[in-house]
Amino acid sequence: MKTKAILISLSLFVCACASVEKPPEPVAVEQNRGKKVAFTFELGNCLACHVIAEGDSPGNIGPELKNLPQRFQNKAELKQFIWDATAFNPNTIMPPFGKNKILNDDDIQQLVDYLWEIK
């Protein structure tokens, strides 16, 4: 019994150490998911056509993405736009990211939350 107690306290000790040493990386990555989606070629690749603050070598095919609360009534409307820009302008060259399943719903939501804050 004593050995068991020692083993348990030992493993608790090890666990506590491990959790202290663990870098908070997974959380940080998720916190920046929207930005990552916008900046990454294989994901949203929004930088190909849009200037976005802090983004390298942006394209200028679309308008700069900033002050979006002035352009859209709410986040839901912005999300609809990213989901399917052709519903707003049938002639746009912006890909319908949601409709064509280029990005999933969660990534588009992360994108909206990120873009909404850019001034």
Using the minimum distance from each CB to ligand HEC, give the nearer residue, 8 or 46. 46
Using the minimum distance from each CB to ligand HEC, give the nearer residue, 16 or 93. 93
User: Minimum CB separation from ligand HEC for residue 62, in Å?
Assistant: 3
Residues of the shown chain interacting with ligand HEC in the complex, contacts defined by CB under 6 A: 38, 44-46, 48-50, 61-63, 65, 68, 71, 78, 81-82, 85, 89, 92-95, 97, 111, 115
User: Minimum CB separation from ligand HEC for residue 88, in Å?
Assistant: 6
Asked if 47 contacts 58 with a C-beta cutoff of 8 angstroms, the reply is yes
Question: Which two tokens mark 11?
Answer: 């493993």
Asked if 115 contacts 34 with a C-beta cutoff of 8 angstroms, the reply is yes
Q: How far, in Å, CA of 60 to CA of 62, rounded?
A: 5
Using the minimum distance from each CB to ligand HEC, give the nearer residue, 30 or 63. 63
* Residues contacting residue 97 through CB under 8 Å, at least 6 positions apart: 44, 82, 83, 84, 103, 108
